[in-house]
A = this chain, B = another copy of it.
Amino acid sequence: MRYPSGRHFLQIPGPTNVPDRVLRAIDRPTIDHRGPEFGRLGREVLSEIRHIFKTRNPVIIYPASGTGAWEAALVNTLSPGDRVLMFETGHFATLWHRMATRLGLQAEFVPGDWRHGVDPALMEAKLAEDKARSIKAVCVVHNETSTGVTSRIGEIRKAIDRTGHPALFMVDTISSLASIDYRMDEWGVDVTVAGSQKGLMLPPGLSFNAVSEKALAASRHARLPKSFWGWAEMLEANKTGYFPYTPATNLLYGLREAIAMLLEEGLENVFARHNRHAEATRRAVRAWGLELLCLNPAEYSSSLTAVLVPEGHNADELRRVILEAFDMSLGSGLGKLQGKVFRIGHLGSFNDLMLAGTLSGVEMGLELAGVPHRKGGVQAALDYLAQEAASQARPAARSAA
């Protein structure tokens, strides 16, 4: 294995490349979490983070990684034996379903092929069937990190609305928030689950529940046992910028910096950048003659792209070759996709040339690992990126004239 000179390419779909500004923000002495300086920090991040979720409702910040926020969403709103409807869009949806079951919920798991998002029509049908309104919540993963497939949250909301069903709508945005357009309030989501280590460009260690009025109302009667995850005490303490137990202060420094960076760039520009990189990646994949896991173009993920390796080849061997030769980490196939796909993360703090380096590593790796493919994937991506850059540069040139 070559000595790792230069920068590692961390192209898994999260944790993502933490920008130096964020790392330096984190690398400061911890302060008194009950003192006035902390109060200012707390009030600022609790207020600003809402822009990222596009919500006016409160956002709860846990000193815990993302999986904890899944649990928080469930235990705060539901009671033992409650029916919830979940959809098998991939590995993480599967894990969330398993969690719900473990916590004592009656979690129905609508089967899926891991190549499509949640079908709004199916959601509508399922809820329409539930005449007794016994389903208390429907849970959807916005962007399946294991497959690179998104679900259309806005359309699903409309499908729910058509049934008039009162179930809570919970959405996991762990690998979409701050990367793919997401509108909590507009789309009527009741609980949004998120984590720090993807589009928010932080190390892992913070997770989020953004909660609607309706979710708050539900939480007052929910009987699943809870303490650490309890919303009520959090919201009470958060009013003044504090937390009911020791917060992850240093990550909050980083969060403040990350939010500032996202707002400086502009969320719509952030989304456009991710869309551009995803499209460039797909063009490369097609040029290589490889197959995208995601089958529905309306559900392509802008955070990551999962690519099938041809029958008879092992994606993990390809990943090993690429790591050893080019010091790049790619995402593995998870669960039933193990060995069958590799995942290219192109989210977070990222740019065109980093993507070009990433795709170059994949193209060279395919050759080294003997995976059948055509050359020219990088070239296809560059053609597209250059064209996009040209179209962006032009109006500016005009306005300068």
Contact = CB atoms under 8 A, between A and B. Distances in A.
Nearest to A389: B325
A17 B7 CA distance: 9
Interface stretch (A42-50, A112-120, A344-352): A344-352
Interface string A53-67: 000000000111111
Given A203-B248, A266-B3, A376 B378 contact: no
A67 B245 contact: yes
Interface of A: 1-10, 12, 14-20, 23-24, 26-36, 62-68, 70-71, 75, 80, 98-99, 102-104, 195, 197, 203-205, 224-228, 230, 245-251, 264-266, 269-270, 273, 321, 323-329, 332, 349-354, 356-358, 360-361, 363-364, 367-368, 375-376, 378-379, 382-383, 385-386, 389-390, 392-393, 396
B23 A10 contact: no
Contact of A29 (B8, B102, B226, B324): B8
A357 B359 CA distance: 9
Contacts of A31: 8, 10, 15, 329
Contacts of A63: 64-65, 68, 204-205
B352 A354 contact: no
How many copies of this kind of chain does the complex include?
4
Given A66-B246, A98-B227, 5 more contacts: A2-B392, A5-B265, A10-B31, A325-B352, A378-B382
B197 A30 contact: yes
5 contacts: A1-B396, A12-B34, A357-B357, A364-B386, A368-B389
Contacts of A28: 20, 23-24
A32 B42 CA distance: 29
A297 to B, nearest CB: 25
Nearest to A36: B323
Contacts of A15: 30-33, 246, 249
B12 A32 contact: yes
Nearest to A392: B2
B356 A378 contact: yes
